[in-house]
Structure 1
Amino acid sequence: MLKSQPEAGKTRSLHKLQQRIRTCQLCQQQGYIPVAHPIVSGQATNRIMVIGQAPGHRSVEQDLPFSGPAGRILQTWLEMAGFPAGYLHEHTYLSSLTRCDPGPNIRGNGDRKPSPAEMALCRPYLDAELLLLHPQIVLLVGTMAIEAFLGKTTLEHCVGTYQKRQDTYYLPLPHPSGVSRWLNDPEHKKLHQQALHILAHWRNRYNL
């Protein structure tokens, strides 16, 4: 089936944006990382957008966001909300606050958090994606992504709730990291289950 002109134009615009992201070397040029390797993943037709912190080394090696354990856990959460296997990488637009691997945490427990300066360099790309895609649902994965959109908060305060801005729903989720111990608390698990219940409701309501 041929795409309509608006849909085809949206696809072309997204392709150009993704090309700009892939060729960006701003963080390398300013000395934040040794080598820039921005990654992107998604189509103009995706109705769910996932925003994380930054890609890890596995994602950069495979040139695909959420390629490591966090991606497998996030896919499991989607399945708990009723989505089919493979939905994360096949039907969601995967984005993040920064597009390159920030490198390991100097303390040796996971990845380094991107600095405010790095996030500021990447933010125009993220804003352009949101404006172009106009997703129905945005999953904010982890504290950094949550606070970038919802302001200073805690997981206990925001997980299990959502915000609607214009026609887009923003749903906070904890980071699906093996380093995080947040979900070890039974009360936190209840909040997480409430978030997935909300997501399941949207899946049914909007035929996602």
Structure 2
Amino acid sequence: MGNVSLTERASALTLLQQRLLACRLCQEQGYIARAHPIVSGQVEDQLFVIGQAPGHRSVAQDRPFSGPGGRILQKWLEQAGFPPGYLHEHTYLSSLTRCDPGKNPRGNGDRRPSLQEVALCRPYLEAELRLVQPKVVLLVGSMAIEAFFGKGRLEDIIGTYQERDSIFFLPLPHPSGVSRWLNAPEHQQLLHAALALLANWRTTYFV
């Protein structure tokens, strides 16, 4: 996509987002009762977030990361030097699947999308990455991290990064009140190390 102009990429992204919003694959195959995909972002966005899936608040507001997790993620961006509002104004917000998977049958939090659902949605995500060409991709939560880095312990992954095709992929823990991982001080230190990397890239690569 390197020789394609920004205008051409913007037009292609608009068409892709329209196709995504019209997608009903998971509903047609019986994984969810009702499809309601959401998209958020522009082709110029240099920061790209990949989460697990939108929750019910995000679907209700047609805006990813509309719940408490979004507020925490915005605070993390501010700790890395980004201004208030950056998450929803200047960040491309994506996820492994685009519809609310519903509640966990065991009653704690949201259901993890199945591998089949993730596979149905993956071509959209790959196309977004090709068109947006971000500088930094934040992999938020263990499921998003595993989709790109493979399985591993958060303790061994948070605070590290990988560079692929001139894009920095930075794993972050899930910013949710349900997760207890961040309760440990040593895990907080790993998060601060990750945010320090993000702060360094912000000063180097972001306008």
TM-score, scaled relative to structure 2: 0.97
Question: In the alignment, is the contact (CA less than 8 A) between 2:46 and 2:206 conserved in 1?
Answer: no
Post-superposition offset of 1:35: 0.3
Please list, as runs of the form range in 1=range in 2, the aligned pairs for 1:99-114 lying within 5 A after superposition. Answer: 99-114=98-113
**Structure 1 CA distance for aligned equivalents of residues 178 and 167 of structure 2:** 30
**Structure 1 CA distance for aligned equivalents of residues 200 and 160 of structure 2:** 13
Does the alignment pair 1:192 with 2:191? yes
Question: Does the residue aligned with 1:72 lie in a helix, a strand or coil?
Answer: helix
Post-superposition offset of 1:121: 0.3
1:40-89 residue CA offsets vs partner (Å, 9 max, x unmatched): 00000001100000000000000000001000000000001110000000
| Partner of residue 206, structure 1 | 205
The one-letter amino acid of 2:181's match is W
1:82-123 residue CA offsets vs partner (Å, 9 max, x unmatched): 100000000000000000000001111110000000000000
- Cα RMSD of the aligned pairs, angstroms, is 0.9
| Partner of residue 66, structure 1 | 65
| Partner of residue 82, structure 1 | 81
1:164-198 residue CA offsets vs partner (Å, 9 max, x unmatched): 01200000000001100101001101000000000
Post-superposition offset of 1:207: 2.9
| Partner of residue 170, structure 1 | 169
The one-letter amino acid of 2:169's match is Y
Structure 2: runs of 5+ lacking an equivalent: none
| Partner of residue 90, structure 2 | 91
| Partner of residue 50, structure 1 | 49
Does the alignment pair 1:37 with 2:32? no
Q: Report percent identity of matched pairs.
A: 67
